[in-house]
Amino acid sequence: MSYASAAMIFDLHSHTLCSDGSLAPPALIARAIDSGVDVLAITDHDTLDAYEGLSLAQGRLQLVAGIEFSTQWQSTGIHVLGLNVDLDSDAVQAGVRYQTEARRARARRIGEILGKMGIPDAFAGAAALAQGDYIGRPHFARYLVNSGKARSIEDAFRKFVGDGKAGDVKQHWADLPQVVQWIRDAGGIAVLAHPLKYKLTRTKLKRLLADFVHVGGQGLEVVSGQQNPQQTAGMGQLCEQLNLLASCGSDFHAPDTRWAELGAFAPLPARVTPVWERFS
């Protein structure tokens, strides 16, 4: 795989309806092409279902096989991208199986809690909306709206499944070293996703990155969607200081989120090493 042009647009973080996105994989690919993206990674949460039946060569668009694993650092939930993984690797397949069961166990528990609150069949309703192995809080929120228990998705999160609410059930994800190992054993590059999203102080973020590097983490998502130049510069500096590879992506989920549109984000800072230079 060769990436010779500096003008190419790499979007290495996107989602389909196989996890919590709204578009089917072919529709996501078509939108990426229309948006001028040259290289796209579909990084659904803890699943590779989007790649079933897909060729990595999509006309003028090149797909990079990816996944976004959920894990935890201290008391903070974090996400790690696995980029350029071997889809058939035993390691990544084992990771998907483990995380899928952890997610389903959590979903069952959310369903039980909502049932005790007078909302029956929530697990079955969310599972039907999910149409696959990924069942997350957004699916419960949609069920709550459809069943008349909430006025909107935002209302459902505010009342039932948002952070700190009854349906905010903590998951028993694989730990950070295991997640990184799955990715590396699958021939991929482990990248800490959207570091600013965790709302950590600079000191805590540096501690997280030090731990991430210690267990084999290789990259940092320096640009995640639309962010201000100071944020990009700050993440670039951390990337340089820790000798990490730099990644970038929209974190696209749906067409109505302009701040996370495919390919619509600032370029990487000049002094960092792009993660795609290590793709093979």
Q: What is the pLDDT of residues 207-262, one digit of tens each?
A: 999 999 999 999 999 999 999 999 999 999 999 999 999 999 999 999 989 899 99
How many Å apart are CA 3 and CA 203, to the nearest integer? 35
Q: What is the pLDDT of residues 78-95, one digit of tens each?
A: 999 999 999 999 999 999
Q: What is the pLDDT of residues 33-67, one digit of tens each?
A: 999 999 999 999 999 999 999 999 998 999 999 99
With a CB cutoff of 8 Å and minimum separation 6, the contacts of 219 are 81, 83, 189, 190, 191, 192, 244, 245, 246, 247, 275
Residue type, 144: L
State pTM to two decimals: 0.92
CATH topology of domain 10-96+174-278: TIM Barrel (3.20.20)
Q: What is the pLDDT of residues 186-199, one digit of tens each?
A: 999 999 999 999 99
Q: What is the pLDDT of residues 117-160, one digit of tens each?
A: 999 999 999 999 987 778 999 999 999 999 999 999 999 999 99
- The residues spanned by each domain of the chain are 10-96+174-278, 100-161
**3-class SS at 238?**
helix
Helix, strand, coil in percent for the chain, rounding step 5? 40, 20, 40
CATH class assigned to 100-161: mainly alpha
Which residue is listed with tokens 């996890």? Answer: 19
